[in-house]
Structure 1
Amino acid sequence: MKKPMTARESSAQIEQQAALWVARLDARALTDEEQCELDQWLAGDSRRMGAYAMACAALARLEMAQDHVEGAGNAPAMALEEKAPVATPRFSRRNMLWMAGSAIAASAVGAVSLIGASQRYATSRGEMLRIALSDGSVVNLNTASRIDVQFTPEARTVFLDGGEVLFDVAKDAKRPFVVVAGETRVRAVGTAFIVRRDSARPVDVMVSEGVVEVSQDRIGQAPVRLSEGMRATVDPMAAKPIEPTSITAEAIEQQLYWRDGKIAFSDSTLAAAAAEFARYNDERIVIADPELADEAITGLFVANDPQGFAEAVAESLGLVARTEGKTIILSAT
């Protein structure tokens, strides 16, 4: 017998309330009464802890950026990974799963220097790799990603065989930096952008800084320019014109939480969340009841803890999570 689904706060309402709590904590210390109110609010719905973690991380990133601007030319700003959360509430170890403070998704994270004209790099499932290239550019490989770097005196070319990569390109007007993902080409001089190439979906390009030009070999369309805060998807099978769209800075930051070993969802479906966890883990989350697949999920999770995610979702939505081998099954009974 299925459990009845009761009315719940929307993800947008939870995110708004979480932002208000973080803003209050940033302004001053909470009174004992307010701290008790925050603790009770966090304990009332597991989604709230995830939204609160996202709000803390967003403020920390904003403060880090402000410190960088104010300290330009002086001491270097604190590295993002070393930035402490704005505030740490009192909560149970179970809810710590949502804060992602005790684990990271990457079982191997490193930095190497590329020397030579051609080199291949790859990450396996759940791994991440940071590479400093010989020209001063830096690339970050997400889970299950493969690139082939080929530098010549005339050009800098990176072939993305699959996966997701963040490129922070050093400026060199005489040697353009080109990422080739199948029939898709992304050309930059000095900028930061993300390219994701999966066999089951179009190539996705997002620009967080500067300008890139995106083109597709199959169609005769002139290269499309994408500036900061824009994205484009290129479907090699459809051969449709490339149409850029706008994307918020917050959405780009959410996309890049994987650098910290986390996955962020904002009003995402449970089915999409399960598919995203599959990118990082051998364990698979299976949704037994199809009607549950469209349930909305918001929160910040440890990328290599699908079990913790499933348990938190089950508690929030009134579901049952059980494990059979490497399969985690979510159902209403």
Structure 2
Amino acid sequence: MNPPQDRTQDCGRLAAEWLVRLSAEENPAEKARIESAFAAWKRADPRHAEAAHRLESLLGQIVALREDDSPPARAILDRAQSVFAPKRRTRRAITLALAIGAVGLSAGLAAHGPGLARLTADIATAPSEWKTVTLADGSRLTLRHGAAVNVRMNATSREVELVSGEMLADVARDIDRPFLVTTPDGRIRALGTRFIVSRRTGQTELFMLHSRTEARASDFAIPARIVSAGQGVRITPAAIEPLDSIRPSDLEADWRPPRLVANDRPLPEVLDALGKYRCGGLHYDREALSRIRVFAVLPLDDNDKALDLLQDSLPGLRVNRSVPCWTTVKPARPG
């Protein structure tokens, strides 16, 4: 088995590839050979060793959680199982999914603060991923920059808790059920409107694109503030501060779904770009795909749709997504 090549992938993903090979190999002699090659790879570059140590440490924590019967530990494992290792998969597939998923999980925990809240969120994106979801009431949320949200809806209210990252909300009008966005810093109340909310440590920023909202700090003794289109505020637990006026059209442009325009580009270059927006990246043989040219406009906020479009437009291409966070792309026939 050939060792992973230092392509454009980061060291964390390469370390995950090595661990996947080790977990999947059942032949003792071949496993020993892979272990030796993995050790050589770690010695070749301090960054390799650091990435492998981080990933092995994280997987060790997952193993430790299995021995912890506390509710938080069970919540983490249940969430990881549902996201990275759905039921009815083989043990090998589960091991592979957890190893690759742990790369994104490790980055998420490092970049976005409290790990439990993010890991157990209803909807989450990787730092470079875009995702648009339609809620049960017809409202649409576009998430990016490692966003994570919890959604709670019932007969009398609609609430979205922004745990981390950035979110564009297109709120469906419902006069009987106010739409609330909450963070540890405060609360935003809207009816039918469009606005951007970003969550950073110790503060929440709100930018209004259409209509208006009511912003409150978590200290309800602070007077509420009405925020209209073209205005922005910074919300902290004890204050609501105005930001510079904005041009909604400028922010709208920044939130238009990103696209990749491929006009006679080699397929590996296109896959490099798409891989940045996918959990676990994309795995393929550059040389085997180097002669395939792409003429397409692909959405970067819907990775599965982009891969489907590629597969439909290139009959000789096969995309395998049978294991979470491990996607392979290869020609249908050798050569």
TM range (shorter): 0.3 to 0.5
Q: Which has the larger radius of gyration?
A: 2
* TM-score of the superposed pair, with normalisation by structure 2: 0.40
Higher RCO (C-alpha under 8 Å, 6+ residues apart): 1
TM-score by length of 1: 0.40
